[in-house]
Structure 1
Amino acid sequence: MSNQIKSTDKLVALTIDDGPKVSSSNAILDILEKYGAHATFFVVGTSCNENTKSVLNRMLEAGCEIGNHSNRWSSVAELSKEEVLNDFNACQEKVYSLTGFYPSVYRAPGCAMSETSYSAIPVPVLNGHNIGTDWEADYSYESRLSAFRRAAGDGHIILMHDKDENVPMLEVAIPELIAQGYKIVTATELYTLRGYSLPKYAQVQYKEFK
């Protein structure tokens, strides 16, 4: 997508945590492909296996980005530097074994990190504008859509989760953003298109690029 749009376009990065999942990941990819949109999928190592290999490769084939969301989805904030790095590397190797590519960005479970865990991660750490408690099954469709609309904005990084319950919301929210003139990109595409390099060994909170 980056060769089809300009840095002056309205850009929003879509990031999706806790996959890959055969059902919801594929349904989300269907929507993204339908509208020519991209996303960064932050995946959990224990969910990366032969059952989800095709999903991971489909993400890359669709022009999306794969990020590391830890190996076991357990807090890294209290771990030693060695423990954090071991967990990070385990997820990296699982994704590589299934796709031939290493994730190039990281998001901690719950976005919770300590200075020790920050220092252990050798790729950019990306947080974002979350859309409420969208990981909860009883979070209503109306709440999901309203929170997504609030999180969206030029230069924003939207943080949401890979859940079946989010699919109907995205079926409305994605074309709505496009109708408003937005280009929906990966986190790395957002930085690149706006002329920024993602720094290593540093937390990158959501940043509004104007």
Structure 2
Amino acid sequence: MEKKYCALTFDDGPNTTITVSMLDILKKHGVKASFFLWGDFINEETAPVVLREFQEGHEICNHSRTHTPFDQLTPQQMLDEINWTEDKIKSIIGKGTNFFRPPYIGVSDSVYETVPLPMICGIAANDWMPEVTARQRYDMIMESMRPGAIILLHDLFENVQTLECVEMLIPELKEQGYEFVTVSELFEKYGIDPRANKFLYTFADQTVRRVDE
């Protein structure tokens, strides 16, 4: 079977509950993922969680400081949000990040022009909504899956349904021949430089600025 690659990503951590449970699940299945961190949640209590993410081979990415939609900010405010979070991450893992996910996927021409990192979107599953069941989340992802996909989920407080979704998702995608890699590794596998285009990536090999335009 031809090898297929995808990237599992999580927004809105770190925390000491769901994030830790997600790390346990990923470790059990031998899967590497990418975590897009909400800067204001990085503190003395959660710093060990961030360090664990890094030490276990996951990729640490930037998701802003305050989770304000970037299409509502000035260019300087955008940079301040990114740089503050970069500094927090560097203080824990000793290096900066390679990717940024705009809060609420709020983008504009100014956001594309200002943000210095490649921007990542992904196949969403409405998993920030408590009424969406684990099975519904799983089904939404599976309907849109193809090689090179980036899966967008959330390790929010109390988001138990996404833990259950991931427990279903990993074995099924492995059975279909997918290998889970970090976002950086995904672009490497497909021989793509994500900095070459000002795109909002849902698939590593996409050829348009964003897939829903």
Q: TM-score, normalised by structure 1?
A: 0.90
Question: In the alignment, what sits opposite 2:170?
Answer: 174
Q: Paired residue for 2:3?
A: 9
| Contact 1:122/1:201, CA 8 A, preserved across alignment | no
Measure the CA separation in 2 of the matches of 1:82 and 1:209. Answer: 31
Q: For residues 28 and 200 of structure 1, what CA distance do their matches in structure 2 show?
A: 32
- Within the candidate set 192, 195, 202, 2:191 is matched to 195
Q: Give aligned-pair identity as a percent.
A: 32
Aligned equivalent of 1:4: none
RMSD (Å) for aligned C-alpha atoms:
1.7
Aligned length in residues = 202
Stretches of structure 2 that go unaligned for 5 or more consecutive residues are 207-213
Taking a change above 3 Å as real, the CA distance of residues 43 and 204 of structure 1, as seen in their structure-2 partners, is same
Counterpart for residue 146 of structure 2? 153
Q: How many Å separate the matches in 2 of 1:138 and 1:81? A: 36
Q: Cα gap change, 1:208/1:92 in structure 2, threshold over 3 Å: closer, same or farther?
A: closer
Equivalent-residue separation in structure 2 for 1:90 and 1:49 (angstroms): 13
Displaced runs of 4 or more, over 6 A: none
Partner residue of 2:56? 62
Can you list the C-alpha shifts for 1:40-81, whole angstroms capped at 9, x where unaligned?
111100011111111111111121111111100111102111
- Long gaps (5+) in structure 1: 1-7
Shift in alpha-carbon separation, 1:20–1:126, aligned structure 2, 3 A: same
Q: 1:125-144, aligned counterparts within 5 Å?
A: 125-131=119-125, 133-144=126-137
**In the alignment, residue 184 of structure 2 is paired with which amino acid?**
T
Quick one: which of 114, 118, 122 aligns to 1:120?
A: 114
**Deviation at 1:152?**
2.6
Q: State how far apart, in whole Å, the 1-side matches of 2:204 and 2:82 are.
A: 27
Aligned counterparts of 1:63 and 1:107: Cα–Cα separation in 2: 20
Residue of structure 2 equivalent to 1:40: 34
1:124 Cα deviation (Å)? 0.7
Contact 1:118–1:201 (8 Å) recurs in 2: no
Q: Judging changes above 3 Å, is the alpha-carbon distance between structure 1 residues 88 and 12 closer, same or farther for their aligned structure 2 residues?
A: same
- Asked if the contact 1:31/1:171 (under 8 Å) is kept, the reply is yes
Taking structure 2 as the reference length, what is the TM-score of the superposition?
A: 0.88
